[in-house]
């Protein structure tokens, strides 16, 4: 199986943006569950689950949620193939979480807690972008990764966080930056307003609307909010500590990484720079954009390569177990 980008989405920006407008996915019957984390926070999970058999857990990217189209498309594909599926909402993604902590690329403990809550069923993890970074940060730490994780798929994973963060604050990514920071600012507003209504002391650590409006770069936002709320010295310290590249060589779980060579949100390195273990399969596709990977002759018959490839890989690993 190999990826051939659709001729009508030959531009990486079209591959990254159009799929979010191209699809209409109906997932009836999803049930929402609340999973407690080890630090007594909450994760909201959208489930299509009989309670028996293998489970596929989907991890959205920065500014996304369980209802993002790339997540619901993947959930629908696995559901139709007969798998139980959970699509998580990272802490604070859709409603204010209980603690000052936020989600970031290194919050792999939340993924482990989610897996543990599923019991002893075999689990496959599928992560997108920042969710892929969390996934790699978990499977790259075998002592922290639950033994029930039998397969992992990372799609458009940001290796080289320091360089990629600087790239995201550059001129070529202004549209993505505006969109993502807008979502992060609104998430922060909801979190602050809720904390104020609850009389929580840490509400004072969150900026007012005027200051939020001035945070127009990721470095500014992470320096002011993400880093201090999560125990990092500053944005650079955050990026260095959560970079998934540093743990790739320790991966023992069968893992597929799918990257596009024209991903507009990334700069070099597009792939892990260290020693790659035998457990890791890397596909660097020609074209595909960021979490796009759309192929097919016509828009009305579009095919989504990442879905097909993830399903193929997970099925192969589950059959082995």
User: Per residue in 40-57, pLDDT tens?
Assistant: 999 999 999 999 999 999
Residue 15 resides in a domain:
yes
Helix (H, G, I), strand (E, B) or coil at 302: coil
Range with the poorest average pLDDT among 147-151, 185-189, 270-274, 279-283: 270-274
Q: What is the pLDDT of residue 261?
A: 97
Kindly give the pairing relationship between strand 55-59 and strand 84-89.
parallel
Q: Please give the residue range of the domain that contains residue 227.
A: 166-242
The reply to whether 262 and 231 lie within a common domain is no
261 in active site: no
Phi, psi of 300 (to 5 degrees): -80, -5
DSSP secondary structure code for residue 223 in this structure: I
The reply to whether 12 and 136 lie within a common domain is yes
Phi, psi of 153 (to 5 degrees): -130, 120
pLDDT over 90 for what percent of the chain?
92
Strands (E), 129-271: 149-155, 255-260
Among 242, 266, 295, identify where a domain stops: 242
Is pTM beyond 0.85? Reply is yes
Pick the catalytic residue: 41, 49, 222, 263?
Answer: 263
Q: What is the pLDDT of residue 217?
A: 97
Residue 1 resides in a domain:
no
Residue 2 resides in a domain:
no
The reply to whether 177 and 118 lie within a common domain is no
The reply to whether 204 and 59 lie within a common domain is no
Q: What is the pLDDT of residue 274?
A: 86
- DSSP3 helix / strand / coil % (the chain, rounded to 5): 40, 15, 40
The reply to whether 258 and 231 lie within a common domain is no
The reply to whether 40 and 134 lie within a common domain is yes
pLDDT at 256 over 90: yes
Pick the catalytic residue: 16, 68, 129, 156?
Answer: 129
| pLDDT, mean of residues 191-220 | 97
The reply to whether 37 and 103 lie within a common domain is yes
| pLDDT, mean of residues 110-115 | 98
The reply to whether 315 and 184 lie within a common domain is no
279 in active site: no
Which burial class, exposed, middle or buried, applies to 192 when counting CB atoms under 10 A from its CB (0-12, 13-18, 19+)? buried
Residue 179 resides in a domain:
yes
pLDDT at 166 over 80: yes
Residue 135 resides in a domain:
yes
| pLDDT, mean of residues 108-136 | 98
The reply to whether 192 and 237 lie within a common domain is yes
The reply to whether 132 and 15 lie within a common domain is yes
Q: What is the pLDDT of residue 300?
A: 86
Among 242, 267, 288, identify where a domain stops: 242
**Could you tell me the CA-to-CA distances from 253 to 170, 210, 314, 316 in Å, in that order?**
35, 46, 12, 13
Range with the poorest average pLDDT among 37-41, 168-172, 208-212, 271-275: 271-275
Q: What is the rounded CA–CA span in Å between residue 299 and residue 303?
A: 9
CB environment 21-44: b (16+ within 10 A), e (fewer)? eeeeeebeebeeeebebeeebbbb
Residue 192 resides in a domain:
yes
Among 223, 242, 261, identify where a domain stops: 242
* pLDDT averaged over every residue in the chain: 96
Looking at the 3D structure of the chain, how many domains does it have? 2
- 213: left (phi > 0), else alpha (psi -120 to 50), else beta? alpha
CATH code assigned at 133: 3.40.50.1820
| pLDDT, mean of residues 263-267 | 96
pLDDT at 220 over 80: yes
Residue 314 resides in a domain:
yes
Phi, psi of 209 (to 5 degrees): -65, -35
pLDDT at 24 over 90: no
Cis bond leading into 237, ω under 30°? no
Q: What's the token pair of residue 91?
A: 């802490």
The reply to whether 227 and 268 lie within a common domain is no
pLDDT over 70 for what percent of the chain?
100
Smallest CA-to-CA distance from 61 within 279, 305, 263 is with: 263
The reply to whether 122 and 268 lie within a common domain is yes
| pLDDT, mean of residues 100-112 | 97
220 in active site: no
Q: What is the pLDDT of residue 26?
A: 80
pLDDT bracket for residue 1 (50, 70, 90): low
Residue 225 resides in a domain:
yes
- 53: left (phi > 0), else alpha (psi -120 to 50), else beta? left
């Amino acid at each position: 199986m190999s990826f051939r980008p659709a001729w009508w989405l030959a531009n990486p920006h079209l591959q990254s943006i159009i799929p979010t407008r191209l699809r209409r996915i109906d997932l009836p019957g999803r049930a929402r569950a609340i999973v407690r984390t080890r630090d007594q926070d909450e994760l909201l999970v959208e489930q299509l689950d009989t309670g028996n058999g293998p489970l596929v857990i989907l991890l959205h990217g920065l500014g996304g949620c369980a209802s993002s189209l790339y997540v619901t498309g993947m959930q629908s594909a696995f559901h139709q193939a007969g798998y139980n599926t959970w699509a998580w909402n990272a802490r604070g993604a859709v409603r204010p979480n209980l603690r000052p902590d936020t989600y970031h690329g290194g919050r792999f403990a939340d993924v482990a807690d989610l897996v543990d809550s599923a019991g002893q069923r075999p689990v496959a993890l599928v992560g997108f972008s920042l969710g892929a970074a969390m996934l790699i940060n978990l499977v790259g730490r075998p002592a922290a990764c639950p033994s029930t994780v039998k397969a992992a798929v990372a799609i458009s994973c940001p290796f080289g966080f320091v360089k990629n963060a600087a790239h995201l604050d550059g001129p070529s990514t202004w549209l993505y930056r505006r969109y993502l920071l807008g979502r992060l600012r609104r998430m922060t507003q909801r979190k602050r307003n809720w904390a104020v209504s609850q009389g929580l002391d840490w509400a004072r650590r969150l900026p007012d609307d005027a200051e939020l409006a001035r945070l127009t770069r990721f470095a500014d936002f992470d320096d002011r909010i993400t880093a201090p709320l999560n125990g990092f010295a500053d944005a650079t310290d955050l990026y260095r500590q959560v970079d998934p590249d540093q743990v790739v060589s320790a991966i023992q779980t069968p893992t597929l990484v799918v990257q596009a060579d024209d991903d507009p949100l990334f700069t070099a390195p597009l792939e892990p720079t260290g020693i790659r273990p035998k457990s890791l399969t890397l596909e660097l596709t020609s074209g595909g954009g960021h979490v796009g990977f759309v192929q097919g002759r016509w828009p009305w018959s579009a095919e989504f390569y990442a879905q097909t490839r993830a399903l193929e890989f997970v099925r192969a690993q589950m059959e082995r177990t």
